[in-house]
Amino acid sequence: IMFERGEHISFANCGLPYYIGGVIKERDELLVQTAESMKSRFNIDVRVRSEVIKVDTDNKKVTVKSDSKGIYEETYDYLVLAPGAKAIKPGIPGINSNKIFTLRNIADMDAIKDYIDKKGVSSVVVAGGGFVGVEMAENLKLKGLNVVIVEAASHILAPFDSDIVVSVEKELVKNGVDLVLSDGVKEFVDTGNHIDVVLNSGKTLAADMVILSIGITPDTGFIKDSGIKLGPKGHIIVNEKMQTNIENIYAAGDAVEVTDFVTGLKTAVQLAGPANKQGRIAANNISGLNSVYRGAQGTAIIKVFGLTAAVTGANERALERAGIDFKKIFIHPSSHASYYPGALPMTLKLLFDDSGKVLGAQGVGYKGVDKRIDVIAAAIRFKGTVYDLADLELSYAPPYSSAKDPVNMAGYVAQNALTNKTNIITWDEVSKLNKDDYILLDVRTEGEFRRGHVEGAVNIPLNSLRDRADELDKSKIIIAYCKVGIRGYIAERILTQKGFKVFNVTGGYTEVERLR
């Protein structure tokens, strides 16, 4: 027996924003399974509009509130809990206005689309810059609406580090989506025709409607008195078999607390992939098969207009919270061989420890980001190292990649750093040094230098460096940079052989341009 509070089961919730935006044309495409198909195909008794409101673990019974049957009880041998998560609606004044919407299910999607179409909506404030908020902003903009994202944090998309997500923020602005960062919502004021969004800074944004996407919380209120253990934020605590503290009760999906595969800390991951795996593992164990869930690594991806951003493993903040030391490198490879038409640049960031173990990766670009992050995600899952990344044999033809794939290149750069072939430094680290202690050396061509450079840099093109090295002061540290890091590395090797103390800026001048 399956109970579902709403009208629909097994719908493509990740596709909801794209139906609102008109990218997905047919509503029925979002309905993966129905109650009827589950009955005919699997002989499962699906009861929609039936909400489980209580679990009696002592007597193995659930209390159900049904639109058709009223309140009744049903017994069970095994119970699987998959209640998911609901949108957070904080106690902000005006939060209950009928101009404020959340997006969780088909009914929410229908309500949003219906309101836009019937009310002649022209402006929307999206409160919250998570994945759903950003996807909604893109799709509302595609409908021709004026859209503002309001985010209380300093950047959107929390799983990404700030030095990667800035590219996403630029893409949003480039496509006409306004961003208000580091400023949360203080109050909503419904003026009749419009709704005013009053921010903590005192700024007021007028809009026709608001999409509230400031986060989600596990929908586990109905089991608080059941004896099933919950975590500090209300998530269901399970073991590696997805089993709760009650032997015959299992749980899966957005409502469960899991182990972070990289840090080992407890976390919650609201992603479709892990939820599907957890459901399969719970079913296996109920059926007598021995399956275990080894933790979540948070592999995620998002399309933002023409841009793709993807992440896997831990970000810098997660590693710092876990007390894990790490190193990082940036590379800016092409999506495929640069001489083949259509190659586009991407940025890859790799996090790893002193042993070379890969801890996390993030990527952003217009083509080929997905497969690079997926390859690194697989390496993380098998506890791979940067040496493994360098050694991977990946498919190559000019339209698809380079002979040294970006994943290989990330491995090479990290490997060089770990084996002391290069002294890597980031621009953030450079900014903390005393300017009197170093010389900033730009080894790009004179033309590149004229088009833009870091203030105070000395320009000696790489091809002239061997002959002009004596122009540099050996008593000072040399910090070399080029466009992406390769020429900077060669310059570092040349000057090191000549007795200089040299660092190479990872990511080069491209990082400066990207972060502006």
Query: Phi-psi category of 43—alpha, beta or left, where left has phi over 0 and alpha has psi -120 to 50?
Result: left
Place of tokens 């090479």: 412
Contacts of 396 (CB under 8 A, 6+ apart): 402, 403, 405
Q: Which residues of 161-182 are buried (b: 16+ CB within 10 A; e: fewer)?
A: bbbbbbbbbbbbeebebebbee
In the structure encoding, which two tokens stand for residue 502, read together? 């040299």
Active-site residue, 482 included: no
Widest CA span of the chain, in angstroms?
89
In the structure encoding, which two tokens stand for residue 183, read together? 């400023």
- In 3-state terms the chain splits into helix, strand, coil percentages (rounded to 5) of 30, 25, 40
Contact indicator for 198, 188 with CB cutoff of 8 Å:
yes
Helix axes 369-381, 406-418, angle to 10 degrees: 50
8-state DSSP, 86:
E
How far apart are alpha carbons 150 and 182 in whole angstroms? 8
Q: How many Cα atoms within 13 Å fall on the side-chain side of residue 247?
A: 2
DSSP strands (E only) in 182-268: 185-190, 195-199, 204-207, 209-212, 216-218, 236-237, 249-251, 256-259, 266-267
Contact indicator for 267, 293 with CB cutoff of 8 Å:
no
In the structure encoding, which two tokens stand for residue 82, read together? 């998959």
Q: How many Cα atoms within 13 Å fall on the side-chain side of residue 387?
A: 8
Burial label for 223, CB within 10 Å (0-12, 13-18, 19+), is: buried
8-state DSSP, 118:
H
- Which residue out of 1, 7, 14, 191 is catalytically annotated? 14
How far apart are alpha carbons 334 and 469 in whole angstroms? 31
DSSP strands (E only) in 33-175: 46-48, 50-56, 61-66, 70-75, 79-81, 85-87, 100-101, 123-127, 146-151
Contact indicator for 491, 443 with CB cutoff of 8 Å:
yes
Contact indicator for 423, 503 with CB cutoff of 8 Å:
yes
Positions annotated as catalytic residues are 14
